[in-house]
Structure 1
């Protein structure tokens, strides 16, 4: 699994969603600051790890746990978006010795209805992902910024049917592990005000199991918080993990060729 590291200081593992890869965190990295060590993997099946198909959350979590052991032996804070947020929940639940705190952004934790129908549609339309016009249309729905559009189109073309079906299947069937309610490290749960009802209900369920004040609703946002509200997300990350701001100087990731 490919990963990059930016900055120095408290380690923060950033887990992207399905259909994108580590580049999606560039808007956030511009606000986080140089005093954090951002660990940014491309999950199996995506980006520079596209040569390996996505198999399961279980297998991916095991790899991510090994990544934390190698890059942050004393543990890391974990931030996840969408599919990556489900992985963050599993890491915090099953590897509490490795996770110092968790920010969950737009995690679906209530199984979606009719998963078989959804996966059949994903499988049938998978070849369209290789077409630039289709990828651009999808990117606009996700509020991908114009400067990141080439990254999205490139990654979309490289994502296999096997990865799409496996990752979407894991995503829409996901439920909270019983160990989530025992997590004692800091947790913040975010959801966009304009997200689907299922996503808002999931955020409430996720937050209620570990804290009493419910999820934080990001006003005006949909399923796009890291892209459209990166400053808000950066503030929540620092507040949740108790990391003072350094003025927001970016850690300086370079665009990928």
Structure 2
């Protein structure tokens, strides 16, 4: 099983929060949330295979990534509460992790997960392979970073991460991202779930988040006005307060 690079901060015996980043970024994207959570929670932030400090581990499949995340949680699964928070591709992994391992995941926060199948065609993959080297150029990375709401003081982290992702890993991850479907077991997930997306995200993504809610009506869905694809980075203060408030509630207590 793949071993993930990760950082841990906070009281070792506290409830656990696992923060799973999206494709093309790294654990650094959670900087503001880690700072807010670490006094009360044991915060675990991995770098996914093929990304930043995990670049020496090739990205093979979403299933392998889910298995690796489960392996990261098992050593701390000693009866305490574990919350998994995922963004974008990391949100897809969070859904799969909660569906397959409900005994490990007490609560789950799904931020901007694409759930409608959008498989990449051969020409699309070819274009990705041709343009991938541009990502390593500072000027091009600056444009990408702005579109993803990466703040200027995290740009060097973003550039380092983009340069770390190989073309093969990028193609494999994009293929996995486009092929994701809501797991059948998601409807049976017993824990609290919070679903967040921006109303300026692609319509297919918003529809997919609504489908996640339809499959698990006990989940709480919020479509945030004026927000794009990047809530934790675009609105870090709002997102952090929303997360802290939700975590502070007793399971099953309505909003």
Pairwise same-fold verdict (TM > 0.5): yes
Where structure 2 has 5 or more consecutive residues not aligned to the other structure, the ranges are 251-255
Counterpart CA distance in 2 for 1:114 and 1:64 is: 25
Alignment partner, residue 31 of structure 1: 36
Deviations 1:102-124 (A, max 9, x none): 00000000012654443222122
2:253 matched residue in structure 1: none
| The one of 58, 63, 86 aligned to 2:63 | 58
1:81 CA displacement? 0.1
CA contact under 8 A between 1:187 and 1:240: conserved in structure 2? no
TM-score normalized by the length of structure 1: 0.89
1:18 Cα deviation from its structure 2 partner: 0.3
Q: What corresponds to 2:15 in structure 1?
A: 10
| Per-residue CA distance 1:200-240 (angstroms, 9 max, x = gap) | 11111112211257620122210010112223322332343
Question: How many pairs are equivalent?
Answer: 244
Cα distance in 2, alignment partners of residues 121 and 171 from structure 1:
17
Preserved contact between residue 101 and residue 240 of structure 1 (Cα < 8 Å): no
- Does 1:210 pair with 2:216? yes
In structure 1, stretches of 5+ residues that fail to align are: 245-257
Aligned match of 2:99:
93
> In the alignment, is residue 224 of structure 1 matched against residue 230 of structure 2?
yes
Shift of 1:162: 1.1
- Alignment of structure 1 residues 1-257 onto 2, 5 Å: 1-8=4-11, 9-74=14-79, 76-112=82-118, 115-211=121-217, 215-242=221-248
| Separation (CA, whole Å) in 1 of partners of 2:164 and 2:119 | 28
TM-score (norm 2): 0.90
| C-alpha RMSD over aligned residues | 1.8
SS at match of 2:96: helix
Partner SS, residue 83 of structure 2: strand
Paired residues of 1:31 and 1:230 also in contact (CA < 8 A): no
Bigger RCO of structures 1 and 2 (CA < 8 A, at least 6 apart) = 1
Rounded to whole Å, the distance in 1 between the matches of 2:6 and 2:77 is 13
- Distance change in 2, residues 1:76/1:214 (3 Å): closer
Contact in 1 for aligned 2:120/2:175 (Cα 8 Å): no
